[in-house]
Amino acid sequence: MKMSEFARRRRQLIRMMGNGSIAIVPAAPERLRNRDVEYPYRQDSDLHYLTGFPEPEAVAVLVPGHRHSEFVLFCRALDPEREAWTGPRAGQKGAVDGFGADDSFPITDLDDILPGLLEGCERVFYTMGRDPEFDRRLIAWVNRIRENTRSGSRSPAEFISLDLLLHEMRLFKSAAELRVMRAAARITMEAHRRAMRRCRPGMGEYEVEAELLYHFRRHGADVAYPPIVGGGANGCVLHYVRNDAPLQDGDLLLIDAGAELECYASDITRTFPVNGRFTPAQRAIYDLVLKAQEAAIAKVRPGNHWNDPHQAVVRVFTEGLVRLGLLKGRPAQLIKDGAYRRFYMHRTGHWLGLDVHDVGDYKVDGKWRLLEPGMVLTVEPGLYIPAGGKGVARKWWNIGVRIEDDVRVTPEGREVLTGGLIRSADAIEAWMAGGD
């Protein structure tokens, strides 16, 4: 992504904050996995959104209207000895030349310099509670200024959650963001296609997972979240991530996996038969989930509200489950009673962007918010029927089906970013039989 995109975002935030404000955005901390081993580093999404800066131990500071330095980036100083171990750093010159900072200081100078930037600002935009250690430091800096008010210092009067402005910005995807999200979607679609093609009875779930990971890494992407690769009963466990069971002939396989590219997530679920052929019962459930998903996707358009796709799913599911004999009663009453929750216990989607469950409010003033062009959401209905349920015929046991796609709201309606990936039962069977 071009540096001008990050600069545009900073300008927008600076305009919204107004003079007399300061925004403070720390990098994500590095986290220990065990002893000397760290988890792979992933930058904080807010800091990435505003700067594209990939290193840990950094803090971005925006001061609208500041004489020379509206954007100050604190980051690690150059240190040839350390860099020999962990790779090159941007350093202060790199922060200015490569990342557009007006000024940059070593992160070790934060305690000395940041209070000076805070002093005289009326409003501090900051996300409290994400990093308790940094919260404490910020409070200490403000207290230091307060102690000096008798000698004329002015301490900030207001703390405002940065999320209010920044997460509203992140909710609406720019053309540059959509280009990356489409690329992440493309890699994910190809990976699912590959996994479907290579799946055979007797393989381990982890072998199918390996096909996904291989394709992601081959294209320079990472996982946006731990993939779910669940055969048979495991497909009914919503957050199954062990992926260590053998795949049985006659079972379904549910794969929920998405690539992350340049920090942007994709999020796709497909469900298909391990042996390439749906049983009639599996197909009946599959077709019902697909019908619900199509009804929900059709509800994605400007002016509809967030909950419209979910309501469409609930209606299609309830009527379908009555038809299949899995629910008994009048659909209208069953919907009122929430009877579908026995088989559909999650909601129909979430915002998607830098975070797989992306930021942005779902309600405004207590009401579901209206969909607007530029928002990206998932549509992911599913039905999960574990074995042994009271009154559930044996033929339905261990059928877990979810179908998930990523959808952008456009001025006219919608664009399914992941629409290039086969979805119908017939198309899946044809693809698994070696067709194209």
Q: Does 356 bind ligand GLY (CB under 6 A)?
A: yes
* CB of 356 or CB of 403, closer to ligand GLY: 356
Contact criterion met (CB below 8 Å) for 419 and 268:
no
Q: How far is the CB of 239 from ligand GLY (least distance, A)?
A: 9
- 264 forms beta bridges with 261
With CB under 5 to 8 Å by kind, the binding choice for 368 among Mn ion, ligand GLY, none is none
380 is catalytic: yes
* CB of 197 or CB of 357, closer to Mn ion: 357
Q: How far is the CB of 404 from Mn ion (least distance, A)?
A: 5
Angle between helices 308-323 and 280-298 (to 10 degrees): 150
CA angle 348, 353, 354 (to 5 degrees): 135
357 is catalytic: yes
Q: Where in 233-262 is the site for ligand GLY (CB under 6 A)? A: 256
215 is catalytic: no
71, 183, 255, 321, 409 from 292: Cα distances, Å: 47, 27, 19, 12, 19
- Rounded CA-CA distance 128/106 in Å is 23
- Rounded CA-CA distance 6/360 in Å is 19
Q: How far is the CB of 22 from ligand GLY (least distance, A)?
A: 35
31 is catalytic: no
310 is catalytic: no
Contact criterion met (CB below 8 Å) for 188 and 182:
no
* CB of 66 or CB of 167, closer to ligand GLY: 167
DSSP secondary structure code for residue 111 in this structure = H
What secondary structure does DSSP assign to 124-157, as a single string?
A: EE--TTS-HHHHHHHHHHHHHHHHTGGGT-----
Contacts of 239 (CB under 8 A, 6+ apart): 228
Q: How far is the CB of 136 from ligand GLY (least distance, A)?
A: 33
347 is catalytic: no
Catalytic residue among 44, 55, 163, 404: 404
Binding mask 344-383 for Mn ion (x = CB under 5 A): ----------------------------------x-----
- Rounded CA-CA distance 213/222 in Å is 8
Exposed (0-12), middle (13-18) or buried (19+): which is 153, by Cβ within 10 Å? middle
- Rounded CA-CA distance 416/408 in Å is 6
* CB of 277 or CB of 347, closer to Mn ion: 347
Q: How far is the CB of 405 from ligand GLY (least distance, A)?
A: 11
Q: How far is the CB of 360 from ligand GLY (least distance, A)?
A: 15
> In the complex, which residue's CB is closest to ligand GLY?
256
Catalytic residue among 190, 211, 267, 355: 267
- Exactly one of 163, 267, 308, 355 binds Mn ion (CB under 5 A); which one? 267
405 is catalytic: no
Instruction: Tell me the one-letter amino acid at 155.
Output: S
- Exactly one of 225, 368, 397, 431 binds ligand GLY (CB under 6 A); which one? 225
46, 71, 107, 155, 218 from 58: Cα distances, Å: 12, 13, 6, 24, 30
Binding mask 207-246 for Mn ion (x = CB under 5 A): ----------------------------------------
With CB under 5 to 8 Å by kind, the binding choice for 225 among Mn ion, ligand GLY, none is ligand GLY
267 is catalytic: yes
- Rounded CA-CA distance 21/1 in Å is 28
Contacts with Mn ion by CB under 5 A lie at 256, 267, 378, 404
User: Which residue numbers are catalytic?
Assistant: 36, 239, 256, 267, 346, 350, 357, 380, 384, 402, 404
Which residue ranges make up the site for ligand GLY (CB under 6 A)?
A: 225, 256, 267, 350, 356, 380, 404
